């Protein structure tokens, strides 16, 4: 069993437990459930394009930074003029939580992506109830039918959808999905191998109706300048900011440098 299989097997158990504890009706009565979402896809087109991630630890890197406060980090990202903020909500493998999402929402007006391993509509409802503007769907772990169903569920709640692929086969099953953005993960989630070349290789195959996002392993502004030439408008960055003493300041320095070269 690879790490992705393990994460998904645990996620099924977690979601079943949550469903038995918190009914959908309770999620739908959240004060945040009826709020109008900010569009992450639109923000990527008009802003810096950076989606900065709150990420305490990961299966590939173990602990990245456990001492930061989620509100300080997300407010710092907003002050740095990121286009979006990704908040990991998986607890077991990434040290995140839905409370992180809630605190992030209370701190910023920048679009927030709930970074989670979505397998059930219940989690989509949860995302809206806890203040997310967008959800992630991972093509490697969902069938075409599931992708369509979960994306439609998110769109009905007014959220954007970032559909993540890693190869051409996953792209093919994503083309009928009503996603706003297609993200190419430079990290193979089964082997952890990282290569920006993956984004470049798949770029021309992604139809123009989707905003193109390059994800993972981005640590310098010249990589972004390069990826922009391939049509990318979004760049998801986690570790590069989170490993520093001040992720917001690191994002600000990065975006200032980016503006000077593109
Ligand atoms: O980051 C991991 O080790 C990982 C392992 C298994 C599944 C998902 C994983 N990461 C999720 C992500 O996609 C990244 O957090 C995100 O793209 C940012 O990547 P980075 O800038 O390299 O921290």
- pLDDT, one tens digit per residue, over 112-161 is 999 999 999 999 999 999 999 999 999 999 999 999 999 999 999 999 99
Which residue's CA is the closest to the ligand 1 atom numbered 19?
216
Q: Is the pLDDT of residue 1 over 90?
A: no
Beta bridge partners of 88: 115
CB 92 within 8 A of CB 119: no
Beta bridge partners of 185: 215
CA 216 – ligand 1 centroid, Å: 6
Rounded distance between C-alpha atoms, residue 225 and residue 62, angstroms: 29
Instruction: With H, G, I as helix, E, B as strand and everything else as coil, classify residue 126.
Output: helix
User: Which tens digits make up the pLDDT trace of 150-179?
Assistant: 999 999 999 999 999 999 999 999 999 999
Residue ranges around ligand 1 (CB below 6 Å) = 3, 53, 55, 58-60, 185, 187, 189, 215-218, 236-240
Q: Is the pLDDT of residue 189 over 90?
A: no
Q: Is the pLDDT of residue 190 over 90?
A: no
Q: Is the pLDDT of residue 57 over 90?
A: yes
What is the percent of the chain where pLDDT is above 70? 100
pLDDT for 97 equals 98
Q: Which domains does the chain have, with CATH numbers?
A: 3-261 (3.20.20.70)
Which residues lie closer than 8 Å to 234 by C-beta, 6 or more apart?
44, 49, 51, 83, 84, 181, 183, 211, 212, 213, 214
Tell which atom from ligand 1 comes closest to the C-alpha of 194: 22
Active site residues: 53, 55, 115, 164, 185, 215-216
Predicted ipTM of the assembly:
0.98
Q: What is the mean pLDDT of residues 205-215?
A: 98
Token code pair at residue 228: 């922009």
pLDDT for 261 equals 94
Q: What is the mean pLDDT of residues 258-262?
A: 95
Q: Is the pLDDT of residue 227 over 90?
A: yes
Q: Within 13 Å and on the Cβ side, how many CA atoms surround 200? A: 10
Q: Among the listed ranges 45-49, 174-178, 189-193, which one has the minimum average pLDDT value?
A: 189-193
pLDDT band at 191 (very low <50, low <70, confident <90, very high): confident
User: Among residues 175, 173, 154, 176, which one has the least CA distance to residue 41?
Assistant: 154
């Amino acid at each position: 069993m690879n790490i992705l299989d393990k994460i998904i097997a645990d996620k099924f158990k977690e979601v079943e437990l949550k469903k038995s504890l918190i009914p959908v009706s309770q999620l739908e009565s959240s004060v945040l459930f009826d709020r109008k979402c900010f569009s992450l896809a639109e923000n990527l087109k008009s802003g810096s394009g950076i989606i900065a991630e709150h990420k305490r630890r990961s299966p590939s890197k173990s602990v990245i930074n456990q001492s930061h406060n989620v509100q300080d980090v997300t407010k710092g990202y907003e002050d740095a003029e990121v286009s979006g903020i990704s908040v990991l909500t998986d607890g077991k493998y990434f040290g995140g939580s839905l409370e992180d999402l809630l605190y992030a929402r209370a701190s910023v007006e920048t679009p927030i992506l709930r970074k989670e391993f979505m397998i059930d509509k219940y989690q989509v409802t949860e995302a809206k109830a806890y203040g997310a503007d967008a959800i992630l769907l991972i093509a490697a772990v969902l069938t075409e039918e599931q992708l369509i169903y979960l994306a439609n569920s998110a769109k009905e709640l007014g959220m954007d959808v970032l559909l993540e692929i890693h190869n051409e086969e996953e792209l093919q099953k994503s083309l009928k999905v009503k996603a706003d953005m297609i993200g190419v993960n430079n990290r193979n989630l089964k082997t952890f191998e990282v290569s920006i070349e993956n984004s470049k290789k798949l770029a021309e195959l992604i139809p123009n109706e989707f905003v193109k996002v390059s994800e993972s392993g981005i640590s310098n502004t010249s990589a972004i300048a390069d990826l922009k030439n391939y049509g990318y408008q979004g760049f998801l960055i986690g570790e590069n900011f989170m490993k520093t003493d001040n992720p917001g300041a690191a994002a600000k320095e990065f975006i200032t440098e980016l503006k000077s070269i593109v």
